[in-house]
Chains A and B, each alone.
Chain A
Amino acid sequence: MATETIAGTEVQVDEEGFFVDPNVWTEDMAGELASQVGVDELTEDHWTVIKFCRTDFDAKGESPTLRRVSTETGVPTKQLFALFPKKPAKKMSYVSGVPKPKGCV
């Protein structure tokens, strides 16, 4: 297990960089996390996705898949690829401080 400093706070992360404890995540960490995955600016749409990832993880105990984010927030799948390029499922979870999704679809 490694430690990284995100927004001035030391955070324990797994080998891929995901937070070991999603509860230590705060909103002011999102910008720095985003910049680590090639997302330079967080727009309103990014925040819609991030906030859903957080609330859904809190409610279900697991990270939502792309399909779930898209159907529940109304953000089209294509748009998720634009917001979090190339690997949207991993990136949206990473920026939201939750584990990568386990679901297949």
Chain B
Amino acid sequence: MDRFDTESDRKLCIVVSKGTLDGAYPSLIMANAAAAEGIDTHLFFTFWGMDVITKQKMDKLAVTPVGNTSMPIPQALAPMPGMATMATKMMRKQISDLDVPDVPEFMEMLHEMGVTMWACRMSVDMMGLDEDDFFEGVEDIISAGDFMELNEGAQLLFT
């Protein structure tokens, strides 16, 4: 007997197209919550989302105040040197203060939890990347068509 077994075959596919800290984290947090609920969870990384799975870049994701009116900095000052570095440092600290792991550790955790990660074929070709550039949790490089087959019947999120 399992009182939490809903017998559902729920599946969630999240398209990650952004490579900023504030662009990537929401997807990772949703994927974590989904996996903990026993949902078959897939992440498809494309365009700037490729940075999240690229070994050389995944620990360097940043946030910029430029064009981001939600940040408490006047937009005229946002492009000044050092502003992006400061904003990134602050956001990383806020995340870490909540005991939420940094991006490489978070990806490792998701991989351990059984979240399946896919890299976009076109982005790989466009950016001149190959499998060796990716964090080892990445399952495979697949095309948009492959992804459509994979997400049949799934709930989809584009981020």
On A, residues with C-beta under 8 Å from B are 17, 35-38, 66-68, 70-71, 76-78, 81, 85-91, 94, 104-105
Contacts and interface: CB of A to CB of B under 8 A. Distances in A.
B33 to A, nearest CB: 6
A48 to B, nearest CB: 18
A7 to B, nearest CB: 16
Interface of B: 1-5, 29, 32-33, 36-38, 98-101, 109, 112-114
B113 A81 contact: yes
B98 A91 contact: no
A68 B99 CA distance: 8
Given A67-B100, A86-B38, 9 more contacts: A36-B1, A66-B113, A77-B113, A78-B113, A86-B4, A86-B5, A87-B37, A94-B3, A104-B29
A87 B3 contact: no
Contact of B2 (A38, A66, A104): A38
Interface of B is mostly: loop
Given A77-B109, A86-B38, A105 B4 contact: no
A37 B4 contact: yes
B99 A91 contact: no
27 contacts: A17-B3, A36-B1, A36-B3, A37-B1, A37-B2, A37-B4, A66-B36, A66-B113, A67-B32, A67-B109, A71-B99, A76-B112, A77-B109, A78-B112, A81-B114, A86-B5, A86-B38, A87-B36, A87-B37, A88-B36, A90-B4, A104-B32, A104-B33, A105-B29, A105-B32, A105-B100, A105-B101
Closest CB pairs A-B (n = 6):
A86-B38, A38-B2, A78-B112, A89-B36, A105-B100, A77-B112
A23 B2 CA distance: 24
Nearest to B108: A77
Nearest to A68: B99
Contacts of B5: 38, 86
Nearest to B109: A77
A70 B5 CA distance: 23
Residue of B101, B112, B114 with highest tally of chain A CB at under 10 A = B112
A86 B9 CA distance: 12
Contacts of A67: 32, 99-101, 109
